[in-house]
């Protein structure tokens, strides 16, 4: 697997990472733990060195899964996790929380669950409007000085928040949704990352599965699947957005690739410091996704995709309104 560096941080990771959330959270019932451990280890053996999780995935169980799976490979991988939520006694999500004392408390739990002495990359999961970002960055700076964290990141943050945080503790990465059907970061977040030397981690690079072309217009999801709440995943929106999948399919046929590989290759072609983190529960899909790193899209290919995509208006918001309100500050 080819390597990439997250901005100017000297943090080298595989060109494609593995988003582990869906193994135990959000996309229906959790998968068998031992099968997911085997899948994560198969990813390492095939060259993946960057793994993404969060305390909120489960909560907690995804960090435990990742920690157990990667324990034999600790020196060879980079693990990213996230803080920023407060949970009740039954693990119910109570709201955002990035108070300094809270961060200092929850980092201990993440360290234990991940079975590490230091967290490689520690993201604030969502910007907490009740806590100045300078306080958050300063707290993570203290954790870095204490040897509990190596690098700091922000997830779904806006440009002013990025700049303010970076001034206190340099950011190694910003993580946001980015794909051919979610291009919001292009307006100002990506230019800001380039200016400041910050890497960019693209989550949901396959549009939560839609860009693979394997979700039928009439498909239904398990009641616990978060896509049931996404406006972009209503049957009407999926039917309207099929044009984007058709575009990927057309390019894929020219390149002897799959739509998923083209979607990921397009992301990789945008900037050399962008690292997509597609998730999967299947070895076959892991191998397919990894194949995207070997798909070469030349300038003519990229121009063709851009021209066609510019004529397609994506239908439906990417998230429910209450979740959108937590992004882009």
pLDDT of the residue at 127: 97
Is 122 designated active site? no
pLDDT of the residue at 132: 98
Q: Give 10-residue mean pLDDT values along the chain (329 residues).
A: 95 98 96 98 98 98 98 97 96 95 98 98 98 98 98 98 98 98 97 98 98 92 96 95 97 97 98 98 98 97 97 96 88
Runs of H (alpha helix) within 29-98: 33-45, 61-70
pLDDT of the residue at 218: 86
Residue that is written with structure tokens 């960090």 in the block: 63
| Helix 235-255 with 259-270: angle, nearest 10 deg | 80
Class of the CATH-defined domain 3-324: alpha beta
Where are the domains positioned within the chain? 3-324
In whole angstroms, give the CA distance from residue 155 to residue 41.
Answer: 26
CB under 8 A, 24+ apart: contacts of 115-118: 115/67, 115/68, 115/70, 115/71, 115/74, 116/67, 116/74, 116/79, 117/147, 117/148, 118/147, 118/148, 118/149, 118/150
Point out the catalytic residue in the list 27, 57, 122, 178.
57
In whole angstroms, give the CA distance from residue 228 to residue 159.
Answer: 30
pLDDT of the residue at 328: 82
């Amino acid at each position: 697997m080819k390597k990439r560096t997250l901005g100017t941080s000297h943090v080298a990771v595989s060109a494609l990472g593995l988003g582990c959330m869906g193994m135990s959270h959000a996309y229906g019932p959790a998968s068998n733990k031992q099968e997911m451990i085997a899948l994560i280890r198969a990813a390492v053996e095939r060259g993946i060195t960057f793994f993404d999780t969060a305390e909120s995935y489960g909560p907690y169980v995804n960090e435990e899964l990742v920690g157990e799976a990667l324990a034999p490979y600790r020196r060879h991988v980079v693990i990213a996790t996230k803080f920023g939520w407060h949970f009740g006694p039954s693990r119910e999500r109570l709201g955002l929380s990035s108070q300094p004392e809270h961060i200092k408390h929850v980092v201990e739990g993440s360290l234990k669950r991940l079975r590490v002495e230091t967290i490689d990359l520690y993201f604030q999961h969502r910007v907490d409007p009740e806590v100045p970002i300078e306080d958050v960055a300063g707290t993570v700076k203290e954790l870095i000085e204490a040897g509990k964290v190596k690098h700091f990141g922000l997830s779904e943050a806006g440009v002013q928040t990025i700049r303010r945080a970076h001034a206190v503790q340099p950011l190694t990465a910003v993580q946001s949704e980015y794909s051919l059907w979610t291009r919001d970061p292009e307006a100002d977040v990506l230019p800001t990352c380039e200016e400041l030397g910050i890497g960019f981690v693209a989550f949901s690079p396959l549009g939560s599965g839609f860009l693979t072309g394997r979700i039928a217009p009439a498909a239904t999801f398990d009641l616990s699947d978060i896509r049931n709440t996404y406006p972009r995943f209503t049957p009407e929106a999926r039917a309207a957005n099929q044009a984007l999948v058709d575009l990927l399919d057309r390019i894929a046929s020219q390149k002897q690739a799959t739509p998923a590989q083209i979607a990921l290759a397009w992301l990789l072609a945008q900037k050399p410091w962008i690292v997509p983190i597609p998730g999967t529960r299947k070895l076959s899909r892991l191998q397919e996704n990894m194949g995207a790193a070997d798909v070469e899209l030349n300038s003519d290919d990229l121009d063709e995709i851009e021209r066609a995509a510019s004529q397609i208006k994506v239908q439906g918001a990417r998230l429910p309104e209450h979740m959108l309100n937590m992004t882009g500050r």
